[in-house]
Structures are given as structure tokens and as C-alpha cells.
Amino acid sequence: MKRLLFMSLLLTACQGGLSQPSNPQPPTRTPEMLLEERSKEIITQYKLPSLSIVIARDSKILTQATSGVRKYGSPEKVTLQDVHHLGSISKSFTATLIATYVENKKLSFNDTLKDLLPGMKMLKAYEDITIDQLLSHRSGIVANLMEDESWWDGSIPLATRKASFLKTLLQTPLEHDPGKAFEYSNAGYALLAMIAEQVGKKPYEELLDLRIFKPLQMKNCSVGFTWDTSKVTQPWPHILKNNLPSAIPPVYPTQENKTIAGNTEVINGADNVRCPMSDLVRYLQDHLNGENGKKGLLRPDTYRELHKDHHGDDYGYGWVVQQSPEGVVLGHDGSNTLNYARMVLVPKSNLILFGATNIGSENAGTAIEAGMAEAVKLNTP
């Protein structure tokens, strides 16, 4: 995860206010057309297979556009309904899931691992790690574990693989004492997902569906990264090869096929949520409403707890938190090195921005930023 750096153009535009579509007679070239044209230029400039951008306010999409293809070298175009891999944006979903259990008093942000995982063998240093420290990346847990090949073996039940991951994690020395410093940890968020499973008595993937996706009518969101490759029905992941996008088959690796098209399922909680833009806007609007004092999936005070920079690290619980002339700005980047996505919320302007591309190249975040800036520009009077 790269720290979110919000562009000055976005914040300047927010200060000026955004226009609402009001003219019943659309211009010859609508904002959608102009954004699509600009997106095509960005795709060429940054060597992307595709780019999708949406800007919304007050539960209304102001402008959205997508350009490019699902698989580089194939004709199938990316559409507004396509599903995007969210990478580390998944952490905000895990934090939200944990918060649902805090609200019904089945968890507390101050609960410790020795109480949450009774009977589990763990190093002494783990015992007093709190949910707060896990959510805010202050647990001292390593960023990632050295991977065990069995964690990729789809013939082994996922619950068995997760148990193996958890056993290994709890015996892995910490990077530093809990609470001492910020240390971004995918392993820590995988652990949070497993804690949710202990409380909810269901797999993490089902819990997200029951407690977030269904209540918010996010009908096409799920957890995973695989698709049927007999047809190109969704965006394929890509790498940059010979200075051009190169598609990776979106299939789970096997002993015969070692191609890695995403992160292992054992770290669901840190990665692997996927959504179309329309569904994601519902989720982002819910968080934006909560930050602005409206009850939604959670109470306003709970949203603000998620969005609060608790330890001065520009990070809340699953959200990057930054101050700007426009007030607090919330967001997160996500990439599994094969895809890239970015979400941005500006509560004072009630503004939502989201962008995604199906490549995780070094310039992917910069390309999305350029697309977002163009969307803001097109909606600024």
C-alpha cells in the first residue's frame, strides 16, 4: 500500500464547489464523453490496459467513464458494470466488519489476542496486542509471512489453510513491541478477518456478504480474484512486460500452473475484495454519510472512530486520514501488483472519487490520479 497523496487540483476544485448536472439538454460532448476521451489519452501515456473513473456526490454519480480493454490484445472493452479488484482497500471492509461487532458489544477495540484467541499457542509478545493496534498497523506484526506452498493449494479446504497461516503467524517474532510504531501489515489484517470468523461463526467471505454487501445492496461484490478464462467476461490482471501490458490468466495457481494471479486466499481481510463501481459508490456514500453525522450501516460515532487518526500516523482503522484546506480527506490505495485502485472521500464537499485499472505498474496510481483530477475539473463550475 502506498500512502495516499491527494492531488492539489482535487482539493482546489473542492474548495470552489462542484456543479450538479441540471441542463435537460445535454451538450454535444457530455462530461462522460470528455472523461472517456481523456482516459484514452491517459491509457496511452501510462501504458494501461484500461482505466475506470467515477465521481459522485449526495448518492448521485456526477460523471463516470471507462476506457480500454479487459485483456490487452483482446477486443473485449471494459464496461461500467465490470468488477474491479480492490487490493488493500479491502482493509476498510475488514475494519467495517469488525466495527459491526463492536457496536453489538461482541468485540471491543481494546480486546487483546489472549482473550480473543483462548487456547491458541502464541508468542508471549502477542498476548496483549489489541484490535486497535491491529486496525491501526501498530501491532508490530510483520508485513507479510514467508508463504507456505500449501496456502495456495485449492484442494485443501480454505479453513484448514487459514488455520495453518494463523498457527505460523502467532509463532512469528514481532518487528517491534506492540504500540511502538506504525508498521503496515497485511498479516495483521488477515488476523483481524480470522478474529471476525471466531466471533461470527462463519467464514470471513460470508460475513462480508451478510453484514456489509447485502445491507448496502452491493449485489455484485465478492471476495476473490479468479474468473472463468474460457471467455473474457471481466478485467484480467496485468503486469508491464517489454514496456507493454501483459495479461495474467485470472485463475488460482495449481501444482501444474504456478502462475500467480493474485494473493493467496489466506490473507483475505487484507486483500481480495472486488466490486463494480456502482456498488462501491454505495459503500463509500455510507461511510461519507457516517462521517457527516448520518446513521447508516453503523452509528455516526462508529464511522468517526474508523476515520480517526488515533496515533498520529495519518491512518485510522482501515482508512488513510489526511488533513487539507478542505478539512479531513479519507481514502486508501490498493494493489496486488497486478491491479490498482484508489478511493477518496472529501466529507466537507460530500465528494466521492474512485478509480481503477487492471495493471499494477509503477505509474498506475499516477494514472488514476490524473483521471480523478480530470473528473473533478469537468464538474467544477
Residue 50 has pLDDT above 90, yes or no: yes
Distance CA 218, CA 26 (A): 30
Residue 254 has pLDDT above 90, yes or no: no
> Which value, in Å, is the radius of gyration of the alpha carbons in the chain?
20
Q: What is the pLDDT of residue 21?
A: 46
* Residue 255 pLDDT class (50, 70, 90 cuts): low
Mean pLDDT of 61-66: 96
Residue 332 has pLDDT above 50, yes or no: yes
Distance CA 70, CA 235 (A): 4
Distance CA 89, CA 136 (A): 14
Going by C-alpha positions, the residue among 10, 3, 40 that lies closest to residue 357 is 40
Residue 22 has pLDDT above 50, yes or no: no
**Strand, coil or helix: 238:** strand
Going by C-alpha positions, the residue among 307, 302, 352 that lies closest to residue 328 is 307
Residue whose entry in the numeric block shows the C-alpha cell 507493454? 244
Retrieve residue 310's grid coordinates: 488515533
Residues 6+ apart with CB under 8 A from 96: 212, 287, 297, 298, 306, 318
**To the nearest whole number, what is the mean pLDDT of the chain?**
92
83-85 β-sheet, strand order: 83-85, 273-276, 222-223
Mean pLDDT of 193-216: 98
- For the chain, helix, strand, coil in percent to 5 are 35, 20, 45
Residue 8 has pLDDT above 70, yes or no: no
Q: How far is CA 153 from CA 163, 167, 194, 255, 260, in A?
A: 14, 17, 19, 8, 12
Q: What is the pLDDT of residue 18?
A: 55
Retrieve residue 232's grid coordinates: 473474457
Retrieve residue 328's grid coordinates: 479531513
Strands 320-324 and 83-85, sheet pairing: unpaired
Retrieve residue 103's grid coordinates: 457496536
Q: What is the pLDDT of residue 154?
A: 81
Per-residue pLDDT of 183-192, as tens digits, reads 999 999 999 9
Retrieve residue 91's grid coordinates: 482493509
Return the percentage of the chain with pLDDT > 90, whole number.
83
Residue, of 9 and 107, whose pLDDT is higher: 107
Mark out the alpha helices in the chain (DSSP H runs): 8-16, 31-46, 90-103, 113-116, 131-135, 158-169, 186-200, 204-208, 277-291, 300-306, 364-378
Retrieve residue 71's grid coordinates: 485483456
Q: What is the pLDDT of residue 7?
A: 41
Distance CA 347, CA 310 (A): 18
